[in-house]
A and B are shown apart, each in its own frame.
Chain A
């Protein structure tokens, strides 16, 4: 059955079970179904020059794949490229929220994203000549037609949305309800449509097992990401990760608030076993508290270093593959040492990465995301701390005093976790081994009464 889940890339986000050592070891393990639908895009931007990379992890039959993306300008053949998924995975790992264990270095969590379940069809589309005639009759202009890597790509413009909608439907795309007006709005704003399908011959020739990311380079004042077609999807809120690579500083949205993900908290040590769940629950709870109206910043860092490192910074070669055009050729890449770098080195690349994470739907995100680059180069990361208690057997007055502080500390960690995630504190106490605080005569409540007062679902 042919389906198109339009434009906005629907991805599967997953955590890999990974134990690679960078600066310590990963402590996070999570199952592979963390997010069912998530898209990842990388936006490289300096001045009006933009390179957009869209991850593609479509796992179905390649002939079922098709994607429709609004783009701000006409694109020449050379402006379209097919990239490598591994680089996006590396960028994802480098910017992931991380779990840190004290006593043992900085464990981090690696996250691997999968993506994309776009759409559809057009396996038995019209022959090229007939296709063009039919398009003309409907007021649709096929401005260009390219084969790039394993993809057949069309650049479309149209006089009005009805013709475009008809053409797309006739060409085998199953558009979601309400797509017409949105297509019309983009057309009137002067945008083109980038339509890609898999060229099965090329794919077989190249021997590609999975579909590689599509990249487009263009010059436009529009520093934005079209998400409106994605909001038409009946399947509810969409998960989107935007990585930006810029020169002067972090990127924020100008028409929605950009909020930092809570970070730096001490959590029960047992959280280690369920870091993926924790991250997902925390993100959901924080989104809920912000009424689902904000974009979260999960990472903002100078690309020359990290501390603690969830993965090494990207090499210059990788950055160029993502389209960071201002990184000069031939310069030595960063050292691949496994310890955190203390700070930018001389000859450093001026690349600043921002990772934004947004859960959007039509009610809370009526408009496309608009961005601006700021001059803020301060570093930010989602980082969560596990403090292993000392459990030696020595006896002295300090040790006794230390042990007396532990129950309170453990309980506080459990409460922090409950507050961040909205999880039930009794459950947390149970699996983290924190005893319920003993207050004779008083029934135990999960959270202090004042937290319940304003924290209601």
Chain B
């Protein structure tokens, strides 16, 4: 089976190009280059310190996700984002793997610490809906739905919450429908929450996880008027994943089952029976 990361790199690159030229997202080529270089360098350094082989695919995906979502006027902040993201993979670990989706961690860290970084969730607009759905769905097909369950459970829960809110407020259906068409929501659902390495190992665990992120995000976005509520919800829920895995064990996810070189996927070392921080 082909490594889904290659397709993901292609899809994220296409989205970045479409965002830059089709939607006028402020994607600056220089920032994108800085992000990619810093992500690769951080990955190389981290792997070296851990005595592991370097693989550019994961840091590339992280860098592309940051390019899509992180807005800043400063190349320094873009570099910091890449450093935080990839660095978090090596520094914040539990049960032998990283805890946070790297791009999610960097976004949340920057949003909390500087006013020079922001996420333009409204800028994806509605015209992008169809194309995002298409690429997102294509991505899921290739992944053989191994983590599609997270995306769909999340989207189903999120939709149910928005519909329930509209029903309670007596709002017309146009309002939840408009809220669901937010392009940033789909980017989040298809390309961030579905990260197989930071979601629970069992299907049941992933369902609990997806529902938890949706509920927490809903409270933040609609209860506390936090536009980036979903990013905070995912980062806040991620530390629960090791607990969920202990409660509902499942097999470790391997990116590429035939040529796996990752330390983190060594089965003996990461069996659910031996959890804990390393």
Contacts and interface: CB of A to CB of B under 8 A. Distances in A.
Contacts of A374: 71, 118, 120
Interface residues of A, number: 36
A378 B168 CA distance: 41
Contacts of A181: 170-172
Interface string B195-208: 00000000000000
Interface string B221-237: 00011110000000000
A367 B178 contact: yes
B178 A375 contact: no
B178 A366 contact: yes
Interface string B115-145: 1111011111111000000000000000000
A372 B227 contact: yes
Interface in B166-210: 168-172, 174-175, 177-179, 182
Interface stretch (A28-36, A148-156, A221-229): A221-229
A367 B225 contact: no
A375 B115 CA distance: 6
Contacts of A258: 122-123
A189 B116 contact: no
Contacts, number: 84
B20 to A, nearest CB: 14
B72 interface: yes
Nearest to B73: A376
A108 B190 CA distance: 47
Contacts of A409: none
A255 B182 contact: yes
B227 A293 contact: no
Nearest to B227: A254
A77 interface: no
A184 interface: yes
Contacts of B118: 372-376
A52 to B, nearest CB: 15
A315 interface: no
A375 B178 CA distance: 26
SS of A interface (majority): loop
A375 B179 contact: no
Given A188-B168, A367-B179, A370-B225, A254 B115 contact: no
B72 A253 contact: no
Given A188-B168, A222-B225, A374-B120, A259 B24 contact: yes
A293 B169 contact: no
Interface in A362-393: 362-363, 366-367, 370, 372-378
Interface string A134-169: 000000000000000000000000000100000000
B92 to A, nearest CB: 25
B114 interface: yes
B169 A255 contact: no
B71 A376 contact: yes
A47 to B, nearest CB: 11
Contacts of B177: 366
A363 B177 CA distance: 12
Contacts of A358: none
Interface in A240-268: 248-249, 252-260
A168 to B, nearest CB: 17
Nearest to A375: B116
Given A222-B225, A252-B120, A375-B72, A184 B170 contact: yes
A296 B149 CA distance: 38
Between B122, B175, B226, the greatest number of chain A beta carbons within 10 A of the residue's beta carbon is seen for: B122
B82 to A, nearest CB: 17
Nearest to A369: B122
A223 B225 contact: yes
A320 to B, nearest CB: 23
B171 A253 contact: no
Contacts of A293: 125-126
Contact of B122 (A221, A224, A254, A362): A254
Contact of B169 (A188, A221, A249): A188
Interface in B214-263: 224-227
B171 A378 contact: no
Contacts of B178: 255, 366-367
Contacts of A294: 125
By Cβ-Cβ distance, the 4 closest A-B pairs, closest first, are A366-B174, A375-B116, A257-B125, A185-B169
Interface of A: 161, 181, 184-185, 188-189, 221-224, 248-249, 252-260, 291, 293-294, 362-363, 366-367, 370, 372-378
